[in-house]
Structures are given as structure tokens and as C-alpha cells.
């Protein structure tokens, strides 16, 4: 099977209707980077920076991080890398952090909430990213943004770090793009102004789905109960696509579902043009997208929504069978 996908490596994920979807990979360690070549990913759509913090026994130093981020950019060889700032708390607890005794850590003090209230580590991380990027483009994304003001405050931290580095006479990145992860339903209803302010939005489907259905992603008993291709969830994704389109905001999807071929086709049919997934999923996703007419898939989805079905899945699968 790997061989079957190898021949697709340098071909675009171009659907039969002519639309091309951009496929990127998720990463979190230096060791993941060689997969860029093998998988044919166009870039790293999600670099989870917390892994570097999790494998250490104390907070890494700024220079250590800067060196690491610089090596990641070197390894990407000019391809875009989206660095997501620390997403700790919830399922990711740092060994050197005082454990927070929270009844619901996934909905608790995590990610950008920690970054804004205890900004020391976030600032250090942003400085490290700026130093690593010197003269190259830098792309940063903030996790778990639930309302616009959190993005504005986080972005201010980045602007201040840029200003500081500039004053110190250090070379700055060639360009800076700043995005927000949409992982809580609330952010889909942020103001038009918010959508125009962010450089891009990336849907963190793992978290978004758990909050949309109130089904814990860590709980085996409930986590598979609700379908990503349910009419409810796809209607919600359609709304997010529309809000981004209205504001001219670039949108991507970087949760695990982007790596499932049928889900990926549904997302592309709804208008998502950038998907980020584990490297091994790129071949299978590309292979299916290349066999499909996205307009046809869209019509099947719209019709199922219109009829008030529970899930689009059986209808989309039937449609895909007729296409191959
Ligand atoms: C997500 O929530 O979909 C996501 C990509 O982030 P993580 O899985 O690291 O929470
Ligand atoms: Mg998440």
C-alpha cells in the first residue's frame, strides 16, 4: 500500500473537478521532520510545541528552544511550519508544573489561558521563535482561543516580543503570520472583526468535536459515539467555512479527522482547502481526493442536511462507491 501511495507523492491532491486541496503534516518532534520528504506534505500545518516541554525534567531555556525551532525550520527547507504555542494542562501535564486539582482539566486552566495568566513561558517561547526565524517567515498559532480578546492579548505578547527583539538590534523574521485555533464552539460566533484580524484559523477538530458533542475525547465509552460526518457537526463546519469566506480568512483543519479519507473529502467538499494530518495519512487522503468530484460530494452532503438525516456518512460512502 505504501508503494501505491509513493507514486502519488509529487502529485497534487487535485480532485476530479479541478479543485486542489493543500495537504500538510502534523509534527511535534525533530524526528518527525524527515517525513516531510517521504509523505509529500507541503509543509507542517501543526507543530505541537508542548512535546519539547513534556520530554524534559525542567523548563527548557530560551536559547535551547530557539536552536530547536531553527533546526525545525532548516529541516522544513523553506516550507511553511505553523508553530502552535504551548498547549499544556488538560491531558498534557508538565512534570515540573504544580498539578492543578481541577475537576474538568480539558475545560480548565490550559493552553492560551495559562499563557495569558502566567505569561513568562509564553513570552520566552515567542522570543525563541522570533530568534529562530531571523530573516525567514514565521507562522505562529495560539491554541484553544475561546473568545476574540484572548487572541488580541496573545498577539500583543508577540508584538511586544518583536518590538523588544528589534530594540535589542536582533534580526527579525522576514514576515509574521498569526492564527488562532478554533477548538471551542464559541469562537465560531466571534465578531466579523475578529475573523478579519486573524491571519488564519485552524480548526482543532479533536477538541472542537469533544466540546460540540460534550463527549470527552479521552473517554473510550463515549468518544466514538458521535460521528464527525453527522449533519450536526458538518452544518457547524459549514458555518465556520462561511464566516471565514465572508472575512477572507484562510482556514485549515488540523485535528485527527483530517487524516481520515472520507472525512477529508467531506471537509474539502464543504470548502476547506488546507488539511493537516499525520504523515502516513497523506497518501490515502490524496488518493481518495483525486478520485472525487467535490461538487458532487457537496451536493450529497447538502441533500442529507436538507432531509434532516442523522449522518451524512452512508450517503457520502455510497456516492464515493459510484465514483471509483
Ligand atoms: C485538536 O484539538 O484537534 C488539535 C489539533 O490539538 P490537540 O490534538 O493537540 O489538542
Ligand atoms: Mg486541541
Condensed to tens digits (0 to 9), the pLDDT of residues 193-226 reads 999 999 999 999 999 999 999 999 999 999 999 9
Q: Chain-wide mean pLDDT for the chain?
A: 95
Q: What is the chain's percent helix, strand, coil content, to nearest 5?
A: 50, 15, 35
Residue 294 Cα, ligand 1 centroid: separation in angstroms? 26
How open is the CA angle 224-226-231, to the nearest 5 degrees?
145
CA 306, CA 299: separation in Å to the nearest integer? 10
Q: Is it the case that residue 90 has pLDDT exceeding 90?
A: no
Alpha helices in 106-230 (DSSP H): 112-117, 119-133, 148-167, 192-197, 205-212
Q: Which atom of ligand 1 is nearest to the CA of 203?
A: 3
Q: Is it the case that residue 65 has pLDDT exceeding 70?
A: yes
pLDDT of residue 91: 66
Phi, psi of 117 (to 5 degrees): -85, -30
Q: Is 87 in the pocket of ligand 1 (CB under 6 A)?
A: yes
pLDDT of residue 101: 83
Q: Is 50 in the pocket of ligand 1 (CB under 6 A)?
A: no
Q: How confident is the model at residue 92 (pLDDT cuts 50, 70, 90)?
A: confident
Predicted complex: ipTM over 0.90: yes
pLDDT of residue 171: 97
Look at residues 42, 35, 33 and name the one whose alpha carbon lies nearest to residue 10: 42
CA 187, CA 185: separation in Å to the nearest integer? 6
pTM above 0.95, yes or no: yes
Question: For 299-303, what is the mean pLDDT?
Answer: 98
Look at residues 136, 162, 133 and name the one whose alpha carbon lies nearest to residue 68: 133
For the stretch 167-185, what's the b/e string if a residue is b when 16 or more beta carbons lie within 10 angstroms of its beta carbon?
Answer: eeeeebbeebbbbbbbbbe
Structural Rg of the chain based on CA atoms: 20
Give the Å distances, CA to CA, from 102 to 30, 105, 116.
Answer: 32, 5, 18
110 or 93: which leads in pLDDT = 110
Q: How confident is the model at residue 144 (pLDDT cuts 50, 70, 90)?
A: very high
Q: pLDDT, tens digit, for every residue of 106-133?
A: 999 999 999 999 999 999 999 999 999 9
Residue nearest ligand 1's atom 4 by CA: 204
Amino acid at each position: 500500500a505504501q508503494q501505491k501511495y509513493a507514486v502519488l507523492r509529487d502529485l497534487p491532491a487535485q480532485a476530479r473537478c479541478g479543485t486542489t486541496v493543500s495537504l500538510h503534516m502534523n509534527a511535534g518532534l525533530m524526528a518527525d521532520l524527515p517525513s516531510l520528504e517521504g509523505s509529500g506534505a507541503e509543509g507542517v500545518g501543526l507543530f505541537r510545541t508542548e512535546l519539547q516541554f513534556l520530554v524534559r525534567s525542567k523548563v527548557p531555556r530560551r536559547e535551547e528552544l530557539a536552536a530547536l525551532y531553527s533546526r525545525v525550520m532548516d529541516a522544513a527547507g523553506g516550507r511553511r511550519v505553523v508553530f502552535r504555542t504551548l498547549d499544556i494542562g488538560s491531558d498534557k501535564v508538565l512534570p515540573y508544573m504544580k498539578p492543578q486539582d481541577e475537576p474538568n482539566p480539558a475545560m480548565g486552566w490550559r493552553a492560551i489561558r495559562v499563557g495569558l495568566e502566567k505569561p513568562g513561558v509564553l513570552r520566552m517561547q515567542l522570543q525563541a521563535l522570533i530568534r529562530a526565524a531571523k530573516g525567514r517567515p514565521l507562522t505562529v498559532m495560539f491554541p484553544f482561543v475561546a473568545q476574540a480578546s484572548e487572541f488580541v492579548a496573545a498577539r500583543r505578547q508577540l508584538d511586544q516580543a518583536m518590538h523588544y527583539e528589534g530594540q535589542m538590534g536582533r534580526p527579525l523574521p522576514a514576515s509574521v503570520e498569526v492564527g488562532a485555533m478554533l477548538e471551542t464552539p464559541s469562537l465560531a460566533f466571534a465578531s466579523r472583526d475578529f475573523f478579519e484580524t486573524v491571519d488564519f484559523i485552524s480548526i482543532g477538530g479533536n477538541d472542537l468535536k469533544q466540546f460540540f458533542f460534550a463527549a470527552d475525547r479521552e473517554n473510550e465509552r463515549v468518544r466514538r459515539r458521535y460521528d464527525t460526518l453527522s449533519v450536526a457537526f458538518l452544518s457547524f463546519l459549514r458555518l465556520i467555512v462561511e464566516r471565514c469566506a465572508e472575512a477572507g480568512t484562510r482556514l485549515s483543519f488540523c485535528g485527527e479527522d483530517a487524516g481520515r479519507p472520507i472525512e477529508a473529502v467531506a471537509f474539502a467538499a464543504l470548502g476547506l482547502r488546507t488539511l493537516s494530518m499525520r504523515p502516513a495519512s497523506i497518501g490515502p487522503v490524496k488518493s481518495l481526493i483525486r478520485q472525487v468530484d467535490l461538487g458532487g460530494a457537496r451536493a450529497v452532503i447538502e441533500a442529507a442536511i436538507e432531509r434532516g438525516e442523522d449522518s451524512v456518512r452512508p450517503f457520502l460512502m455510497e456516492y464515493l462507491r459510484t465514483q471509483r
